[in-house]
Structure 1
Amino acid sequence: MKKYYYLLSIILFNFQAFAQQDTTAYAAQRVKVNSLLAERSAKFGQYDESLNQRTGIFGWQTKRDIKNSNEILRQVVLTDNNIFKELKILMDYKDLQNQQKVAVADHSQERIENYMRTIKKLQDQNTELREQIDKKDKNKSLSTYIIVFLILVMGGGFYFFSKKLKNYEKRII
C-alpha cells in the first residue's frame, strides 16, 4: 500500500513540476516581451530626439542627422518585428494553456460521466438484489405458513385419531 502512495505522490509532484514549468516559461516569455517593449520605447525616444537634432548651418538637419534618424527608425522596426515574434510565441503558450485546460475539463467530464454510469449500474444492481430478497422473504413466509398449516393438520389429525382410538378402545372393553 505504501508503494502505491509513494508512486502516486511522485506522479503528482512531477505533474505539478510540469505545470509549473509551463507557467515559468510563460512568465519568462512575458518578461522578454516587456523588455523588448521597453527597448522599443527607449529607441523611439532616441528617434524623437534625433528628429529634433539640427547640427547643420542655420539650424537645418544635415544628411548625417537624417541618416542617424533613419537608422534609429530601422532599429525600432526591427525591435517591432522581434516583439511580434515573441508575442506570437506568447500567444502560442496561452493557446497551449487553454488547450490543456480544455483537455483537463474534458477528462474530468469523462470521469464524472463514468462515475455516474457506475453509480447507476450499482443502483440498478442494488434494486435487483432488494427485489430478490423480497421475493425470497415472500417465499419463506409462504413456506412457513404451509409448514404451520401442515403441522396443525397433522396435530388435528393426531388429536382426532387418538380420540377415535380411545373411543374404539372404550367400546371394545
Structure 2
Amino acid sequence: MSLSLVLLFLNFFTPQFNEAGQAKLEKMVKDRDALTAQWKASESQKSGIFGNRTKKDMIETNEWLERIIKKDNLIMDELRMIGDIETITATQTGDDYKAIAFKQEKDVQALKRAVAERDKQLKEKLSERRTFEWISLILFLISLGLGFVVYKKVIKP
C-alpha cells in the first residue's frame, strides 16, 4: 500500500521536476544567447586609431567570453542535475519494482509451501481412508465367511 503511494507520488511530481528544470534551462540558454549577442557587439567595437581595436576593447571582449563560459558552466550543472534527478527517479522506480517482484516471489513461495502441506495432508487422509476401507472389506469377508460357516453348521447338521 505505502509502496504504491510512493510510486504515485513520484509519478505526479517527477514531471514537474523535469518541467521546472526545462524552464530554468531554457531561460539559461536565452541568457547565453543574449550574452553571445553582446559579445559579438563588443567584438565589432573598434575604438582605436585608424579603426583598430584597443587593449580595452579586447579586455571587454574577453570579459564577455568569461561571462559566456560561466553561463555555459551553469547550463552544464543544470543538465547534470536534471540527469541525476532522472537517474535517481529511474533507479528508485526500478528498485521499487524489484521490491514488488521480490515480495511477490516470497508470496508465491509461501503459497507453494501451503499447497505442498495441503497435498501431504490430503495424501495422509486418503491413506487413512484406504486403510479403513481395507479393514472394512476384510471384516466384511470374515463376517461373511463366519456367517457361511455358521449357516452350514446350523442349517445342515
Q: Indicate which of 100, 108, 117 corresponds to 1:116.
A: 108
Distance 1:75-1:35 versus aligned 2 partners, 3 A rule: same
Count of residues in correspondence between the two structures: 157
Aligned counterparts of 2:107 and 2:44: Cα–Cα separation in 1: 72
Q: Which has the higher contact order (CA 8 A, sep 6+)?
A: 2
In the alignment, is residue 84 of structure 1 matched against residue 85 of structure 2? Answer: no
Q: Name the CA shift for 1:53/1:77 in 2 (closer, same or farther; >3 Å).
A: same
Q: Which has the larger radius of gyration?
A: 1
Contact 2:10 2:89 in 1 (8 A): no
> Paired residue for 1:34, among 26, 29, 32?
26
SS in 2 for 1:61: coil
By how many angstroms is 1:63 displaced? 4.3
Deviation at 1:15, TM superposition (A): 4.7
Q: CA deviation digits over 1:28-64, x for unaligned, max 9?
A: 1232123212321331232123212324442222444
Q: Which runs of 5+ in 2 are unaligned?
A: none
Deviates more, 1:61-70 or 1:140-149: 61-70
Which of 88, 100, 107 does residue 92 from structure 2 map onto? 100
Tell me the distance in 2 between the aligned counterparts of 1:153 and 1:159. 10
Aligned to 1:159: 151
* CA deviation profile, 1:97-116 (whole Å, cap 9, x unmatched): 13202311320231132023
Looking at structure 2, the residues matched to 12 and 103 of structure 1 have their Cα atoms a distance apart, in angstroms, of: 13
Kindly provide the CA deviation profile for residues 108-129 of structure 1, in whole angstroms up to 9, marking residues without a partner as x.
2311320231232023113212
Instruction: State the match for 1:53 in structure 2.
Output: 45
Aligned to 2:148, what secondary structure does the other structure show?
helix
* Alignment RMSD (CA, Å): 2.6
Mapped to 2, the partners of 1:12 and 1:119 lie a distance apart of 23
Q: Which residue of 2 aligns with 1:134?
A: 126
Shift in CA distance, 120/97, structure 1 to aligned 2, threshold 3 Å = same
Does the Cα contact within 8 Å between 2:3 and 2:96 map onto a contact in 1? no
Q: CA deviation at 1:145?
A: 0.7
**Partner amino acid for 2:112?**
K
